[in-house]
Amino acid sequence: MSTQTRPAPGGATTPAPRTAPSTPAAGSRPGRWWHALRTYRPSAQLVPLLATLALFLGMLQVGGLRYEGFTSSQVILNLLTDNAFLVVLAVGMTFVILTGGIDLSVGSVVALSTMVAAWTLQDGWSPYAAIAATLTVGTVLGLLTGLVIHHFDVQPFIATLAGMFLARGLCYLISVESIPIRDDTFFFLASEPIPIALAPWQGGVVIGLLGLGMLAALVRRRSLRSALVPVLVGLGVGMWVTLLLMGDPALTTTYSVVIALATVAVAVLVLHRTRFGRTVYAIGGSEASALLMGLRVGLVKVGVYAVSGFCASLGGLLFAFYMLSGYSLHAVGMELDAIAAVVIGGTLLAGGRGLVVGSLLGVLVLGTIQTFISFDGTLSSWWTKIVIGALVLVFVVMQRVLTRRQP
Amino acid sequence: MAHLESVKPTSAPAGGPPGDPVVAMDDISISFGAVRALDGVSVRLYPGEVHALMGENGAGKSTLIKALTGVYGIDSGTVTVEGRQVRLASPSAAQEAGISTVYQEVNLCTNLTVAENMMLGREPRFLGAINTRAMNRRARATLDRLGLDVDPASTLGDHPIAVQQLVAIARAVDVDAKVLILDEPTSSLDADEVEKLFTVMRRLRAAGVAIVFVSHFLDQIFEITDRMTILRNGRLVGERMTADLTQLELVQLMIGRELEVLEKLERELDAEDAGPASSEPVLRAVGLGRKGSLLATDLEVRPGEVVGLAGLLGSGRTELARLLFGADTSDTGTLEVSGRRTRLRAPRQAIDRKVAFLSENRRSEGVIGDLSVADNMLLALQATRGWLRPIPSATRRRLVDEYIEALDIRPADPDALMRNLSGGNQQKVLLARWLITEPDLLILDEPTRGIDVGAKAQIQQLVADLARRGLGVVFISAELEEVLRLSDRVVTMRDRRKIDERSNVDVAVGDVLEIIAGDARAEEVGARA
């Protein structure tokens, strides 16, 4: 504990000022709003998120200026279609990293999942049984890793490294060759286009609802200053997405995207609205404290690896939809892409701070880099790695600066 | 809490207040390997009392607390809560039994909100989903009940330590705790913050909570507690009413022997009082300052002189010490060490100029728990020699043995792991670390904080001896009595600057307090004008 952090002692008996509804400029309504805007200080959790959002939109802007059609609705939507599996992986990884851990096994588990799915289908299993088997394998692997980490007090890095080799090795045990997937259900899930374009009147309704919802959120919040900017940003993003969906009447997406977005939504609810989720954050903040608070640290620590294992196998299924084959060499190094997405999305590697939505944005940023390269045509695909490397570095340094600013 | 109707009369017989204890621990024994940490200790806690747990470091206080909070299992003995015998197998089991704890280091998660820290694990839920608004409302109600004005939705890490500590207490009482254990809650608080804590404690006592209070500050013990249980070396010494004891008697019960050392020291220092030799200063700082932490400050320390820095937490005393050692770099002013002008950019340069600094953060900035006592001791010496010139093993042995004996470090085993030592002994090892480098100037920042009375006396004695041998010493402590007992000159800090300097002839604690307070009054007047 450092003495520098505390305000000068003396008569001050109320050390913590309430985020005041009674700020000086509380007079006229626009004046109040302007004051709230001007004095807004995003929490340390939101700064990286806003930065990632700005980065993503900025990249789209630059791409739109340089290449024709870069910002067309379908291209932007394809960012999700092409990276749905990575979104799901990043969600699982966010759980793990929030507790201060890491999961290096997810890339191998993706490969194993494609193998298990392809192999069981080849063996004549029903597609639903194949999907259930795949999800079970991944979840059980994650669960076992978690048990090892918790009960033998093994470094997550080492335990999941073991899991990474194990899962990759199991792939070869199933088959050295690539196994094609020819199942109709998988085919359907992989390529059936879902029309999601909004007619103008539908778009109008959506925007209206958004506005109403945001207003309600503002009214409910005690502190205008801390709520105004996030609400405005949310409103802006919501309107932008709606306009995108209205932009092209032939717009379609796939079930993979639906599954990925559903995963994100469920993860947000779990992390913020359940005791499990809050314990995840508590462990990341201070595991010893969480233990002394009487929280179920063991259960949650094992749980996050099971969640990550589940997400990895679900991501593996989406990857199988995408590739329509099972292969031992699928998804080599994908765990690192997932970690990069989580870091770029603003989650602190030390744990305790970060948002799933950030990880979604992180994946979109990675996707945009790839789109850049395919649109340009002259750039080598290795530029993807270089840019990702630079971005991860920038974001890690930014996190460092932000946490240092904290008392 | 309301169902506990027993009210403690103000002057109950020493046998304890009437009614039944809310918690009774009988004949508790706990061993770690061959070491018997607790040997047949019994404690009774009654509703509506503040109960002090007294003893030196290593007397078994922490072990007893950890047994009561379910962190340690007990080997033999029984725990009875409200007449029912219970087994406290885990922290959550203890919490369910109504026993809540606030530890010395704030054990909360700074990344979560105040409300979450108070409610985590028992949040109001609807269909499994946490109801944030209800949670904030309930947190607000509890905070109001304790008279705390803190926004439940704010992030805990944004608040100063004192507020975090009060939030920890709010968490502890939110469960309708029957027993609240406060383990050294005041060790990092200022006087007015302590007062705030006591106000909260009094409210809880009135509401019928049994509070266990552990503190090294005897004044606080006598101010707030009703009854106490005294331990020594893992054994029960006795259970007393606070009102029946004087401070002297209490200290005698706790330590017996070492008290004489303190008294002897007092006599010696009084007899000495000749004042230091007026030779060249070993350190002279002129206008030393650093943006945001210390305004320009002058300071001189002569050989054989102890300069005491008095002031409240955050007054700039630690900041000044860090500048003198180069742990922070100064923006303004000049520094002369042994007559040579220097600019300290790193502690390494200070060490080369024979300046030593004992940080106030013993645990994070001093102790290396997984190294042995010997390794910890030799660290600074090795650093001054550079890594290419190892210390011969014979020299190592000799130095380490010498200092273990000289400072009476226990266990007297050079290979003992540092983290297994008590706080007082760790502090002595750290002191030895710097003494081995044979410094000319020793800066001690809170060297006696959080260590027991016996070790405290020994360290004070040592400081006096060192000064007599010609060392210049800068002595920082929150305890004014201690500063005044040891110092030749007293420098008072306030609001990041030096406000007073006087030689320590018949200066009383009240004088220094008046200087600190008087300046505040003057400033208020100035601000109004």
Kindly give, in sequence order, each residue whose CB lies less than 8 Å from that of residue B104, ignoring residues fewer than 6 positions away. B183, B184, B185, B187, B450
Specify the pLDDT at position A288. Answer: 86
Kindly state the tokens that stand for A73.
Answer: 């609705």
Specify the pLDDT at position A301. Answer: 95
Ranges A123-137, B88-102, B179-193, B411-425, most confident:
A123-137
- What DSSP element (H or E) covers A189? helix A184-191
Is pLDDT of B527 > 70? no
A3 and B154 within 8 Å at the Cβ level: the answer is no
Specify the pLDDT at position A255. Answer: 92
Of A273, A289, A353, the CB nearest to B108: A289
Is pLDDT of B12 > 50? no
Chosen for mutation from B92, B108, B109 (greatest number of chain A CBs closer than 10 Å) is B109
B151 and A352 within 8 Å at the Cβ level: the answer is no
Percent of residues, chain A, with pLDDT higher than 90: 56
* B35 — pLDDT class (breaks 50, 70, 90): low
Specify the pLDDT at position B34. Answer: 61
Specify the pLDDT at position B7. Answer: 36
* B519 — pLDDT class (breaks 50, 70, 90): low
A281 and B109 within 8 Å at the Cβ level: the answer is yes
B397–chain A nearest CA distance, Å: 35
B161–chain A nearest CA distance, Å: 8
Residue B356 is given by DSSP the state: E
**A378 interfaces chain B, CB cutoff of 8 Å:** no
Which residues in A lie closer than 8 A to residue B150 (C-beta atoms)? 16, 18
> Which region, left, alpha or beta, applies to residue A406 given φ > 0 means left and ψ of -120 to 50 means alpha?
beta
Average pLDDT over residues B380-385: 84
- CB atoms under 10 Å from CB of A296, counted, come to 16
Among B317, B269, B226, CA closest to B481: B269
Average pLDDT over residues B81-96: 85
What is the C-alpha R_g of chain A?
Answer: 23
Identify the closest residue of chain B to A275 by CA–CA distance: B121
Is pLDDT of A84 > 90? yes
B130–chain A nearest CA distance, Å: 5
Ranges A49-58, A302-311, B245-254, B271-280, most confident:
A302-311
Average pLDDT over residues B101-117: 84
**A269 interfaces chain B, CB cutoff of 8 Å:** yes
Is pLDDT of A262 > 90? yes
| Contact (Cβ atoms closer than 8 angstroms) between residue B479 and residue B394 | no
- CB atoms under 10 Å from CB of A278, counted, come to 25
Of A174-183, B69-78, B503-512, the one with minimum mean pLDDT is B503-512
Kindly give, in sequence order, each residue whose CB lies less than 8 Å from that of residue A37, ignoring residues fewer than 6 positions away. A228, A229
In chain A, which among 276-315 make CB contacts under 8 A with chain B? Answer: 278-279, 281-282, 284-286, 288-296
Residue B168 is which amino acid? A
For chain A, helix (H) and strand (E) counts, in that order, are 16, 4
Give the mean pLDDT of chain A: 87
B108–chain A nearest CA distance, Å: 5
Kindly state the tokens that stand for B188.
Answer: 């990092």
Specify the pLDDT at position B272. Answer: 56
Average pLDDT over residues B66-90: 88
Which residues in A lie closer than 8 A to residue B107 (C-beta atoms)? 286, 288-289, 292-293
Of A4, A10, A43, the CB nearest to B293: A4
| Mutual angle of helices A297-323 and A275-285, in 10-degree steps | 110
| Contact (Cβ atoms closer than 8 angstroms) between residue B90 and residue B70 | yes
Is pLDDT of A100 > 90? yes
Which residues in A lie closer than 8 A to residue B92 (C-beta atoms)? 294, 296
The CA-atom distances, in angstroms, between B184 and each of A140, B92, B216, B221, B451 are 45, 21, 7, 11, 11
Kindly give, in sequence order, each residue whose CB lies less than 8 Å from that of residue B396, ignoring residues fewer than 6 positions away. B374, B378
Length of chain A: 407
Which residues in A lie closer than 8 A to residue B157 (C-beta atoms)? 406-407
Among A31, A49, A30, CA closest to A230: A49
Q: Would you list the DSSP string of B407-459?
A: TT-SS--TTSBGGGS-HHHHHHHHHHHHHTT--SEEEEESTTTTS-HHHHHHH
Topology of domain B261-354+439-528, CATH = Rossmann fold (3.40.50)
- Cα atoms found within 13 Å of the Cα of residue B283, Cβ hemisphere only: 30
Q: Name the one residue in this structure whose structure tokens are 């809650």.
A: B185
| Contact (Cβ atoms closer than 8 angstroms) between residue B99 and residue B23 | yes
Among B329, B389, B321, B396, CA closest to B361: B321
Is pLDDT of B481 > 70? yes
Task: Please tell me the distance from the alpha carbon of residue B390 to that of residue B368, in angstroms, as a whole number.
Answer: 19
**A3 interfaces chain B, CB cutoff of 8 Å:** yes
Of A14-23, B190-199, B364-373, the one with minimum mean pLDDT is A14-23
Specify the pLDDT at position B87. Answer: 87
| Mutual angle of helices A224-246 and A29-38, in 10-degree steps | 90
* B526 — pLDDT class (breaks 50, 70, 90): very low
B159 and A286 within 8 Å at the Cβ level: the answer is no
B275–chain A nearest CA distance, Å: 32
A288 and B107 within 8 Å at the Cβ level: the answer is yes
Average pLDDT over residues B506-514: 77
Q: Name the one residue in this structure whose structure tokens are 């032939």.
A: A250
Residue A74 is given by DSSP the state: H
Specify the pLDDT at position B424. Answer: 80
Identify the closest residue of chain A to B147 by CA–CA distance: A14
Which residues in A lie closer than 8 A to residue B163 (C-beta atoms)? 15-16
Among B236, B233, B227, CA closest to B255: B233
A275 and B192 within 8 Å at the Cβ level: the answer is no
State ipTM: 0.79
Characterize the bridge pairing of strands B99-102 and B179-183. Answer: parallel
Specify the pLDDT at position B263. Answer: 60
A15 and B190 within 8 Å at the Cβ level: the answer is no
Chosen for mutation from B66, B103, B111, B144 (greatest number of chain A CBs closer than 10 Å) is B111
Task: Please tell me the distance from the alpha carbon of residue B132 to that of residue B130, in angstroms, as a whole number.
Answer: 6
**A223 interfaces chain B, CB cutoff of 8 Å:** yes
Q: Would you list the DSSP string of B210-234?
A: EEEEE-S-HHHHHHH-SEEEEEETT
Give the mean pLDDT of chain B: 82
Where along chain B do the CATH 3.40.50.300 domains lie?
23-98+177-255, 261-354+439-528
Specify the pLDDT at position A9. Answer: 39
Q: Would you list the DSSP string of B77-138?
A: EEEEETTEEE---SHHHHHHTTEEEE-SS--S-TTSBHHHHHHTTS--EETTEE-HHHHHHH
Does domain B23-98+177-255 bear CATH number 3.30.470.10? no
User: Which residues on neighbouring strands pair with residue B29, listed in sequence order?
Assistant: B76
Is pLDDT of A157 > 90? yes
**A5 interfaces chain B, CB cutoff of 8 Å:** yes
Topology of domain A43-197+247-405, CATH = ABC transporter involved in vitamin B12 uptake, BtuC (1.10.3470)
Specify the pLDDT at position A105. Answer: 96
Average pLDDT over residues B420-427: 82
- Asked whether the CA dihedral B47, B250, B27, A293 is positive or negative, the reply is positive
Kindly give, in sequence order, each residue whose CB lies less than 8 Å from that of residue A302, ignoring residues fewer than 6 positions away. A143, A146, A147, A149, A150
Specify the pLDDT at position A315. Answer: 96
Which residues in B lie closer than 8 A to residue A281 (C-beta atoms)? 109, 111-112
* B261 — pLDDT class (breaks 50, 70, 90): low
Kindly give, in sequence order, each residue whose CB lies less than 8 Å from that of residue A260, ignoring residues fewer than 6 positions away. A80, A84, A85, A87, A88, A318
Where are the extended beta strands (E) located within A54-197?
A: 179-180, 194-195
Where are the extended beta strands (E) located within B322-418?
A: 332-337, 340-342, 355-358
Specify the pLDDT at position A222. Answer: 63
Specify the pLDDT at position B103. Answer: 78
Average pLDDT over residues B234-263: 75
Specify the pLDDT at position A150. Answer: 93
Burial B287-322 (b: 16+ CB within 10 A, else e): ebbbeebbbbbebbbbbbbbbbbbbbbbbbbbbbbb
Task: Please tell me the distance from the alpha carbon of residue B326 to that of residue B324, in angstroms, as a whole number.
Answer: 6
Residue B151 is which amino acid? D
Q: Would you list the DSSP string of B79-93?
A: EEETTEEE---SHHH
A292 and B107 within 8 Å at the Cβ level: the answer is yes
Longest dimension (CA), chain A: 79
* B448 — pLDDT class (breaks 50, 70, 90): confident
| Contact (Cβ atoms closer than 8 angstroms) between residue A52 and residue A358 | yes
pLDDT digits (tens, 9 = 90+) for B280-311: 888 889 988 888 778 888 999 988 899 999 87
Cis? peptide before B281, omega within 30° of 0: no
Longest dimension (CA), chain B: 77
What is the distance, to the nearest Å, from the Cα of residue B419 to the centroid of all Cα atoms in its chain?
17
Identify the closest residue of chain B to A14 by CA–CA distance: B149
Which residues in B lie closer than 8 A to residue A7 (C-beta atoms)? 160, 314
Specify the pLDDT at position B2. Answer: 39
Residue B244 is given by DSSP the state: G
Which residues in A lie closer than 8 A to residue B161 (C-beta atoms)? 1, 5-6
pLDDT digits (tens, 9 = 90+) for B300-346: 998 889 999 987 766 788 889 988 888 888 888 888 888 888 888 88
* B229 — pLDDT class (breaks 50, 70, 90): very high
Specify the pLDDT at position B14. Answer: 44
Q: Would you list the DSSP string of B20-35?
A: --SEEEEEEEEEETTE
